[in-house]
């Protein structure tokens, strides 16, 4: 006996193929009677949706690619969780494609990947999302794409972004309000837009308060725990040392905490620390880390829904947001400087 098709389900339930598709994809726009009627026919016939057949018809796989070259494992994990939230109860699956943005063959390799795998769409994680040529390759091959970043990178339908610069302004103002004037900065990796935006926000807040930033209070980092330790060691060698440090992500901020303890400094009494991400690590350190909450999981969910929204529900006119607000989370790692 031939397996039932979506056409058979539509005919037996007395509805359109589009309605059957909505039932399969858990669309909220159906009334209960229609949903229950279609689900009863699906159960009675033993119908199983065939994404492979639909992929052949559409000349696309039901795959959403996550393309990344990011040193923070927690950031990549948060993005994956957000994408999977969006794909839950749909026919779509996620594939992960690490790349080397410094490779001379990166664009050629990505063109080959997109041509072979033919994903329905891809989500480009920073910093690779900042490569306009990669976006052009996606356009040329007819592959849907959304770029994630710390600033606006594209048209709204192709982008989700966060307000990193303004968020760091607020974080630095908080340190200044506590009485800090010698504040160290640990930057992110060269070539990352997020690193530039966060540094700009830090400098904006100092300039607003009339505070100069000597080069000796800026140390390079690369978003890793180890780089946070090394950067802090150089900052604490400065005399007089900083009374507070802003690290451009939480992994480096955790390194600041360890380096401070190695020097016998108490946190926050002798050194205040602020990070950026609000990763699970931040609340588990002691003292708990004051940090900027970066809504990467929500951003990733929105990015995925921008790609697949019209496949889940063609009549859904609700637009996914393109800008997400990062906010300061105050915990125990900040206090007024010891000597006022």
Mean residue pLDDT of the chain comes to 90
Q: Which two tokens stand for residue 289?
A: 């880390």
Q: Based on the number of CB atoms within 10 Å of its own CB, is 70 exposed (0-12), middle (13-18) or buried (19 or more)?
A: buried
Asked if 273 and 245 count as a contact pair (C-beta separation under 8 A), the reply is: yes
- pTM comes to 0.80
Q: How many domains in the chain?
A: 3
338 occurs within a structural domain: no
Q: Say which CATH number the domain at 29 has.
A: 1.10.260.40
| Residue 173 and residue 286 in one domain | yes
Most confident of 7-16, 246-255, 305-314: 246-255
- Residue 337 falls inside a structural domain: no
* C-beta separation of 25 from 90 below 8 A: yes
| Beta bridge partners of residue 83, listed in sequence order | none
Q: In terms of domains, do 270 and 198 share one? A: yes
Do 137 and 257 belong to one domain?
no
Tell whether 331 is covered by a domain.
Answer: no
- Whether the per-residue pLDDT at 39 is higher than 90: the answer is no
Q: Are 13 and 132 members of one domain?
A: no
109 falls within a domain = yes
User: Are residue 252 and residue 287 in the same domain, yes or no?
Assistant: yes
State the distance between the two ends of the chain, measured CA to CA, in whole angstroms: 83
Q: Residues near 278 by Cβ (< 8 Å), separated by ≥ 6?
A: 250, 291, 292, 293, 294, 329
Distance of alpha carbon 238 from alpha carbon 243, whole angstroms: 11
Query: Are residues 172 and 283 both part of a single domain?
Result: yes
- pLDDT (tens digit per residue) in 200-245: 999 999 999 999 999 999 999 999 999 999 999 999 999 999 999 9
Is 340 a domain residue? no
Task: Note whether 39 and 62 are same-domain residues.
Answer: no
Helices 296-312, 73-87: axis angle to 10 degrees equals 30
Domain that holds residue 15: 6-48
- Domain identity same for 105 and 211: no
**Residue given tokens 């588990």 in the structure block:** 284
pLDDT per residue as tens digits for the range 107-144: 999 999 999 888 999 999 998 999 999 999 999 999 99
Give yes or no: residues 290 and 311 share one domain: no
Strand order in 272-277's β-sheet? 218-219, 183-186, 244-247, 272-277, 290-293, 327-329
């Amino acid at each position: 006996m031939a397996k039932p098709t979506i056409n058979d389900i539509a005919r037996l339930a007395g509805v359109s193929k589009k309605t059957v598709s909505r039932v399969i994809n858990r669309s909220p726009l159906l009334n209960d009677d229609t949903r229950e009627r279609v689900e009863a026919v699906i159960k009675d016939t033993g119908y199983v949706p065939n994404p492979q057949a639909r992929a052949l018809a559409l000349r696309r796989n039901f795959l959403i690619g996550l393309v990344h070259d990011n040193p923070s494992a927690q950031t990549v994990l948060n993005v994956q969780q957000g994408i999977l939230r969006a794909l839950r109860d749909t026919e779509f699956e996620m594939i992960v494609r690490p790349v080397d943005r410094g490779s001379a063959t990166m664009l050629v390799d990505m063109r080959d990947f997109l041509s072979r795998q033919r994903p329905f769409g891809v989500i480009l994680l920073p910093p690779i999302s900042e490569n306009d040529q990669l976006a052009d390759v996606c356009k040329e091959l007819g592959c849907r794409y959304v770029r994630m970043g710390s600033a606006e990178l594209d048209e709204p339908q192709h982008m989700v972004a966060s307000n990193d610069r303004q968020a760091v302004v607020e974080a630095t103002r908080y340190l200044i309000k506590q009485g800090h004037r010698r504040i160290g900065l640990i930057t992110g990796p060269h070539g990352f837009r997020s690193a530039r935006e966060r540094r700009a926000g830090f400098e904006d807040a100092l300039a607003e308060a009339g505070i100069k930033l000597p080069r000796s209070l800026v140390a390079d980092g690369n978003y890793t725990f180890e780089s946070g330790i090394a950067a802090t060691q150089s900052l604490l060698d400065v005399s007089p040392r900083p009374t507070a440090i802003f690290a451009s992500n939480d992994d480096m901020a955790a390194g600041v905490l360890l380096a401070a303890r190695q020097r016998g400094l108490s946190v926050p009494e002798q050194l205040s620390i602020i990070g950026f991400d609000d990763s699970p690590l931040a609340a588990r350190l002691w003292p708990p880390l004051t940090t900027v909450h970066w809504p990467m999981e929500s951003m990733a969910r929105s990015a995925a829904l921008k790609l697949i929204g019209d496949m889940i529900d063609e009549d859904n006119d609700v637009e996914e947001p393109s800008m997400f607000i990062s906010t300061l989370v105050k915990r125990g790692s900040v206090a007024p400087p010891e000597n006022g």
